[in-house]
């Protein structure tokens, strides 16, 4: 899958490879073996995994190594982290990769729990920088001390909806988290989603952008996000726009996923609903992603580090390989991307060397070899 920010260069691109933590390096190294077997016009810079970094350097040195890689390389292929690999937040906030693209596509051979998964093929665009993921949290007493609790309306919520009003915040043993959006950031991710919808329409898809949030309750935040998205979409007359309340949309992902084309979601909902979508096609081991900024992107699987199977060589590398397909499209190497995707499809259609999560008994490396054989 390509993106609205694809870039091609006459100079051989450099790809940083950051394996990550727990079982993630097994998926990354297996995927790298496939990429190297393709003899691509790419220079790979492979970094240590998180455990190796912890042994060989200080956390500050590891963080600087990761940041320098993000600045030096054209893109990064990343596993996932449990927090041991330092500096990965720089990929997102340092390089301002504001759009997290998460395709949800069923392929023959995927072990879906749905009776009729055929034809599921949509893309979630998750706002990647703001919302609750900014991590602005604290004690309720801080809210009382700030004076915000003394306002007639605090955050759009009537005092009558809080037992005892907000005055008890000063004494309460409680916590808060701040959800925030900025117009500029919502507008740019909405434009990204609209351009992607146009691109998919040119490829034969419906040309429909769906937006969802809990706007019936959080009118001044979630509601504002959807309003801005609708305003932006109105400037793209060749696509259609619709919106659903988050709980209804959660149902639609399972009940009518075939009706979806491109979906724009705030950060938190995008993270949750993309996992739900991955579940409908066969699991997180099949779900790739790419994080795009104005002039840089990186690629990673949606799944976590799978600590329960670390060292067992059972992790499914499909999500990482499909993330590499997205990466190759981003680098303008479309023919190579299609070849890799076709090889992955062939392995699943054959069904002979699949990992345990997909009903097989192949190891991570055996699956990778099957993909190499299919190239």
Three-state SS for 194-221 is: HHHHHHHHHCCCCCEEEEEECCCCCCCC
User: Under 8 Å CB-to-CB from 185, ≥6 apart: which residues?
Assistant: 98, 127, 129, 130
Q: At what angle do helices 364-374 and 334-350 cross, to 10 degrees?
A: 120
Q: What is the mean pLDDT of the chain?
A: 94
CA distances 71 to 3, 64, 323, 361, Å, are: 21, 10, 20, 40
Strand 43-46 and strand 208-213: the pairing is unpaired
Q: Which residue in 351, 336, 276 sits closest to 122, CA to CA?
A: 276
Residue 262: is its pLDDT beyond 60? yes
Higher pLDDT, 7 or 42: 42
User: What is the number of other CB atoms lying within 10 angstroms of the CB of residue 151?
Assistant: 10
Answer yes or no: is pLDDT of 200 > 90. yes
* pLDDT interval class at 116 (50, 70, 90): very high
**pLDDT at position 330 over 60:** yes
CB 140 within 8 A of CB 172: yes
Mean pLDDT of 342-360: 98
Domains and CATH numbers, the chain: 1-106+287-375 (3.40.718.10), 112-135+178-281 (3.40.718.10), 137-177 (no CATH)
Reference 362, options 305, 253, 285, 307; nearest CA is 285
pTM summary value: 0.93
Judge whether residue 12 has pLDDT over 70.
yes
pLDDT at 78: 97
Dihedral angle over CA of 308, 314, 320, 324, nearest 10: 160
Averaged over 316-333, what is the pLDDT? 98
pLDDT band at 170 (very low <50, low <70, confident <90, very high): confident
Q: What percent of the chain has pLDDT over 70?
A: 92
- pLDDT (tens digit, 9 = 90+) per residue, 19-68? 999 999 999 999 999 999 999 999 999 999 999 999 999 999 999 999 99
pLDDT at 7 > cutoff 70: no
């Amino acid at each position: 899958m390509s993106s609205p920010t694809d870039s091609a260069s006459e100079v051989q691109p450099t790809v940083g490879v950051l394996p990550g933590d727990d079982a993630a390096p097994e998926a990354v190294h297996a995927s790298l073996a496939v990429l190297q077997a393709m003899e691509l016009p790419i220079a790979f810079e492979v970094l240590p995994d998180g455990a190796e970094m912890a042994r060989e350097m200080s956390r500050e040195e590891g963080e600087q190594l990761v940041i320098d890689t993000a600045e030096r390389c054209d893109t990064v292929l990343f596993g996932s982290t449990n927090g041991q690999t330092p500096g990965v937040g720089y990929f997102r906030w340092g390089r301002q990769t504001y759009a997290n693209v998460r395709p949800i596509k069923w392929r023959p051979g995927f072990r879906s729990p749905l009776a009729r998964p055929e034809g599921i093929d949509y893309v979630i665009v998750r706002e990647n920088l703001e919302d609750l993921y900014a991590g602005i949290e604290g004690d309720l007493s801080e809210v009382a001390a700030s004076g915000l609790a003394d306002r007639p309306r605090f955050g759009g919520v009537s005092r009558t909806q809080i037992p005892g009003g907000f005055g008890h915040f000063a004494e309460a043993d409680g916590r808060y988290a701040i959800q925030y959006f900025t117009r500029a950031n919502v507008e740019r991710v909405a434009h990204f989603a609209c351009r992607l919808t146009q691109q998919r329409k040119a490829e034969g898809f419906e040309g429909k952008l769906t937006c969802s949030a809990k706007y019936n309750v959080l009118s001044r935040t979630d509601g504002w996000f959807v309003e801005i998205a609708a305003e932006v979409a109105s400037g793209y007359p060749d696509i259609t726009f619709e919106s659903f309340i988050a709980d209804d949309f959660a149902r639609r992902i399972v009940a009518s996923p075939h009706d979806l084309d491109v979906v724009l979601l705030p950060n938190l909902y995008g993270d949750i609903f993309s996992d739900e979508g991955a579940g409908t096609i066969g699991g997180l081991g099949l779900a790739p992603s790419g994080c795009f900024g104005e002039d840089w992107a990186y690629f990673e699987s949606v799944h976590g580090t799978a600590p329960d199977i670390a060292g067992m060589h059972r992790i499914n590398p499909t999500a990482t390989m499909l993330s590499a397909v997205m990466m190759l499209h981003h680098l303008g190497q479309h023919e190579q991307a299609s070849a890799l995707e076709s090889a992955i499809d062939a392995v699943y259609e054959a069904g002979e060397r699949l990992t345990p999560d997909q009903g097989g008994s192949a190891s991570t490396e055996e699956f990778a070899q099957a993909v190499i054989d299919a190239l």
